[in-house]
Amino acid sequence: GAGPLDLLSREELLTDTSNSSSSTGEEGDLAALLPDLSGRLLINSVFHMGAERLQQMLFSDSPFLQGFLQQRKFTDVTLSPWSSDSKCHQRRVLTYTIPISNQLGPKSASVVETQTLFRRGPQAGGCVVDSEVLTQGIPYQDYFYTAHRYCILGLARNKARLRVSSEIRYRKQPWSLVKSLIEKNSWSGIEDYFHHLDRELAKAEKLSLEEGGKDTRGLLSGLRRRKRPLS
98-140 pLDDT, tens per residue? 998 776 678 899 999 999 999 876 566 689 999 999 999 888 9
Render 22-69 in DSSP notation, one character per residue: -SSS-TT-HHHHSPPPSSEEEEEEEESS-HHHHHHHHHSS-HHHHHHH
Segments of 106-227 assigned E as strands: 108-118, 126-136, 144-156, 159-170
> What is the amino acid identity at position 157?
R
Residue 182 in contact with residue 144, Cβ under 8 Å?
yes
pTM as predicted: 0.78
Q: What pLDDT shows up at residue 86?
A: 72
Mean per-residue pLDDT, 161-185: 95
The pLDDT tens digits for 80-101 are: 999 976 767 899 999 999 998 7
Q: pLDDT band at 28, cuts 50/70/90?
A: low
CA dihedral 117, 120, 124, 128 (to 10 degrees): -20
Residue 125 in contact with residue 153, Cβ under 8 Å?
yes
The pLDDT tens digits for 136-169 are: 988 899 999 999 999 999 999 899 999 999 999 9
Q: What pLDDT shows up at residue 12?
A: 38
| CATH class held by domain 23-212 | alpha beta
Alpha-carbon distances of 175 from 172, 183, 226, rounded to whole Å: 10, 12, 71
> What is the amino acid identity at position 16?
D
